[in-house]
Chains A and B, each alone.
Chain A
Amino acid sequence: MSEKNTFKVRKSWDTAILALLFSVWVLASFTTDNFLSSINVSQIFSNSSEILIMGFAMIFLIITGEIDLSIASILALSSAMLGWSYAAGAPIWLAILIAMAVGTACGFINGFLVTKLGLGSLAVTIGALALYRGIANGILGTNTINEFPDFWTSFGFDTFGKTFIPQTLPVIILFGLFFGLLLHNTAFGRRTLAIGQSPEAARFAGINVVRHKIIVFTFTGFMSGVAGVIYTFRFSTAQADNGIGLELLVISACLLGGVSIFGGVGTMWGLVAGVLLASSVESWLTLQEINAQWRTIVTGILLLISVAAPVMVDKYKRARATLANKA
């Protein structure tokens, strides 16, 4: 019964979130002068870069019923490795590879600890959150590294010519296509959903749940590494406290986008809409000159609503059904 209702709710959730996104745009463009200006739209997109990149992989993890809270720390560690190895004289391409490899390794370690040792992903990745950030601190201390080749910093920061399209956008779109197709059009994606819908039935269907989850954790680590590279070039800064708190934005974007925190449900479109909604609201509040604390409060409220709303709707429907049965 509840499964059925949740499923229905999720379908309408997609429409609701698009409608909400649209109304935020309309409202924002009426209440502020330059919300839809090319610079601001460009800002919304580039501010979404890391959230999208990490979200593309995180959505798989949440769908399987797991979570990774250490992604922002992986981002920082990857950023630190990039800065440190480049400063130490490595060619930039090697430094980028090292950064991404370190991210991948972090993800693999998380996955290994969660699946092979059977530890809860919440507990493991809270530990990892502290550990990876700590290592980043150990590498860079309070130093910041801001000297990077122009080509790469302008890749991170600039738009194409006079347009408002950030140069990073094609990269993000490519990743989005890759993970979107992976989720919706391949056996791998089907198995991801299946594991989240019923881990027991997945085992009876011959799915290697442990291996699958390790792969998904590793993807998440890799994408956090990529996000670390993009972040570093976007701000021309490698430092240990890069991206603090970003994991919350990624998770809330997933949940806003209709990914079920209980696993088994989620679409790539939903995620993209969720990210854009979160960034648009943030940008709108910034333009209204509402300060950072309030913006965090709004993000928190959005997160709570996106977790609570499906459950509330479900409860409401069930209560109504019970009443109808009694009548």
Chain B
Amino acid sequence: MANKGDLLLEMKDVKKRFGGAIALRGTNLSVRAGEIHALLGENGAGKSTMLKILAGVHEHDAGTITFGGAPFISGSPQASIDQGIAVIYQEPSLFLDLSLAENVFVGRQPKKGLAIDWKEAEAQARKLFNELGVELDPKRQARGLSIADQQVVEIAKALSMNASIILMDEPTAALSASEVERLMTVMRNLRAANKAVIFVSHRLDEVFAISDFITVMRDGATVSEKAISNTDLQTVIKEMVGRELTELFPKTDHPIGDVVLEVNDLTNPAYFRNVSFTVRKGEIVALAGLVGSGRSEIARSIFGVDSYETGSVKINNKPLKKNSPITAIAEKIALVPEDRRQQGLFMVAGVNRNISMESFDRLKGRIFLNFKKERALTNQWRENLSIKYADQSDPVDRLSGGNQQKTVLAKWLATDPDLLIVDEPTRGIDVGTKAEVHKLIDKAAGEGKAILMISSELPEVLGMADRIIVMREGRQVTELSRKEATQENVIAAATTGKKGI
């Protein structure tokens, strides 16, 4: 077994690209035995790619990885497990109908002769749980265990396979405060047993509470590698965002009018609590925060595809009578959803059929749809938004991501909404089209629409919004005006839940 402080894993100048996209442009990571090592960075910095290379899901293109003094065999999950690397995912995948002992030893049950020695398996599982410092009955079924306990079972399974490094991808994201405390105890016990733990987290307060070492990544490269004693929260945040705001945003100033959307004390305990804010005519309000902070769920509840338990939504000073998209659309609310392929578009249907989806009333003669009007409508929006397609009956599946997003926008802009909610409006589309989409959103605001924008891209939030509401774990942390907001204070609020640093 490795001694505490021995270098266990060293990644040097590791590079990885997926097609044209560069995920890692030369990253370093060194981890020692008996160390809790936090891997930090914004969404898309390359943390997950790093973990996946170690887990054997991806193979690196260039660079060297040494593990336990020998070259790391990459590109096979089984090889990773054999070398002693275990991954604990955010959503554990236990066999819910099997006992915990069976789960720990699945496929490798201790045998007595030909039969499985369940006594032995249970005893060993109990020993592992004790080492981790948790009380779990190896005989109980996995069904009904909390996510946190399921993670513990996965960790026990990893230990039973002699893992020397445990990778955890946002292990605390789905946990409650007391469960987080428990997981931290488990992590400390792993450290005491001279195992190394590498974990990705967006909760910086937790990171500082538990880690020994912090590696910060940005845009596919390692920015800093520091022991916890040599750094602090402010430094880490600076390192994470670090970039200059060079992108230009087309945001222009518009007169801001009456309140269009008023959300009051909206609560759905599973996702968000006591959320209150307003959006005015001509104003762009951004909901900022990390993925999973409840932003999309708020948008979906306003639009009525999700429900809320208490609170109210008013549109143009009128309470929404029913929590349903049909009511929302009738009250001139539009939602450009996060997942355009699943939620925003009918992928096999033509561009024209997607654009006309919300405008049947205007396309109807007395009873029948007027195809000529539909063609005209499609052409009109093709020009307005410069959507590129060969034929308007082409299935939208054939369009590029950017043109698909424009098609969704066209569908909703055609309804002339008072409130336009856009959820991650530029996700997965190229830079040129991104700027066009930003221009369209600005133009819509200029026409007096109220815009509620959700975005995980900080430059987009800072560049487009008049006001920024920062969310963390379902709660509003703070509200910043365009003038007050900086990358640092938004990230600080989103990751620590504190208003200022």
Residues of A within 8 A of B (CB): 3-4, 6-7, 181, 185-187, 190, 193-194, 197-198, 200-201, 203-206, 208, 264-265
With contact pairs A3-B395, A186-B367, A186-B368 given, residues A204 and B346 touching in the complex (Cβ less than 8 Å): no
Which one of B337, B346, B357, B397 lies within 8 Å of A4 (CB-CB)? B397
Kindly identify, within residues 364 to 390 of chain B, every residue whose CB is under 8 Å from any CB belonging to chain A.
364, 367-369
- B233 on interface, CB distance cutoff 8 Å: no
Q: With A6-B348, A190-B360, A193-B349 known to touch, is A198 a contact of B368 (CB < 8 Å)?
A: no
Most A CB contacts (10 A, CB to CB) among B305, B328, B345, B369 go to: B369
Cβ–Cβ < 8 Å partners of B353 in chain A: 190
- Let me know if B347 is at the binding interface, CB within 8 A: yes
In Å, the complex CA distance between A186 and B363 comes to: 10
CA distance A205 to B325 in the complex (A): 7
Residue of B nearest to A6 (CB): B348
> Which of chain A's residues has its CB closest to B359's CB?
A187
User: How far is it, in angstroms, between the C-alpha of A6 and the C-alpha of B349 when the chains are bound?
Assistant: 12
Tell me whether B357 and A190 are in contact (CB under 8 A).
Answer: yes
B398 touches A206 (CB 8 A): no
Where the two chains meet, the residues of B that have a C-beta atom closer than 8 Å to any C-beta of A are: 303, 305, 325-326, 328-329, 335, 337, 342-349, 353, 356-358, 360, 364, 367-369, 395, 397-398
Give CA–CA (A200, B346) in the complex, Å.
Answer: 10
Partner of A194, one of B357, B368, B398: B357
The answer to whether A3 touches B397 (Cβ under 8 A) is yes
Q: What's the nearest-Cβ distance from chain A to residue B62, in Å?
A: 23
Identify which of A3, A186, A197, A205 gathers the most chain B CB atoms within 10 Å of its CB: A205
Q: Closest Cβ of chain A: how far from B216's Cβ, in Å?
A: 37
Pairwise interchain contact A203-B360, C-beta atoms closer than 8 A:
no
Given A205-B357, A264-B348, the answer on whether A4 and B398 have CB atoms closer than 8 Å is: yes
Total contacts A-B at CB 8 Å: 67
- Most interface-central of A186, A200, A201, A264 (chain B CB within 10 A): A201
* A197 and B369 form a contact (CB under 8 A): no
Q: How far is the CA of A206 from the CA of B348 in the complex (A)?
A: 19
Complex Cα gap A266–B357 (Å): 18
Q: Please tell me which one of the listed residues B348, B360, B364, B398 contacts residue A197 in the complex, with CB atoms under 8 A apart.
A: B348
B346 touches A201 (CB 8 A): yes
B323 to chain A, nearest CB (A): 13
Shortest CB distance B333–A (Å): 10
With both chains docked as a complex, state the minimum distance between the C-beta of A205 and any C-beta of chain B, in angstroms.
Answer: 5
Chain B residues near A206: list those with CB within 8 A: 325-326, 328-329, 358
| Minimal beta-carbon separation of A313 from chain B (angstroms) | 16
User: 7 other contacts beyond A201-B344, A203-B325, A204-B305, with CB at 8 A cut-off?
Assistant: A6-B348, A185-B368, A187-B364, A197-B346, A198-B346, A200-B343, A204-B325
Complex CA distance for A3 and B368, rounded to whole angstroms: 28
Closest to B343 in A: A204
In the assembled complex, the Cα of A186 lies from the Cα of B212 at a distance in Å of 65
Q: List, in ascending order, chain B residues with CB within 8 A of A7's CB.
A: 348, 395, 397
Known A-B contacts A203-B325, A204-B344; A194 and B369 likewise in contact (beta carbons under 8 Å): no
Point out the residues of chain B lying under 8 angstroms from A6, CB to CB. 348
Take A3-B348, A190-B353, A204-B337 as given contacts and tell me if A181 and B343 are in contact as well, using a CB distance cutoff of 8 Å. no
Among A186, A198, A203, find the residue whose CB has the most chain B CB atoms closer than 10 A.
A198
Determine how close the nearest CB of chain A comes to the CB of B334; give it in whole angstroms.
10
Collect the chain A residues with CB atoms within 8 Å of residue B303's CB. 204
Residues in chain A near residue B329, CB distance under 8 A: 206
The residue in chain A whose Cβ has the minimal distance to the Cβ of B329 is: A206
A211 to chain B, nearest CB (A): 10
Q: Compute how far the CA of A208 lies from the CA of B347 in the bound complex, rounded to whole angstroms.
A: 20
Is there an interface contact between B347 and A197, defined as CB atoms closer than 8 Å?
Answer: yes
Q: Which residues of A contact B364 (CB under 8 A)?
A: 187
6 pairs, A vs B, C-beta closer than 8 Å: A3-B347, A7-B397, A181-B368, A190-B357, A203-B305, A206-B328
Which 7 A-B pairs rank lowest in CB-CB distance, beginning with the nearest?
A187-B360, A206-B329, A206-B325, A197-B346, A185-B368, A204-B343, A206-B326
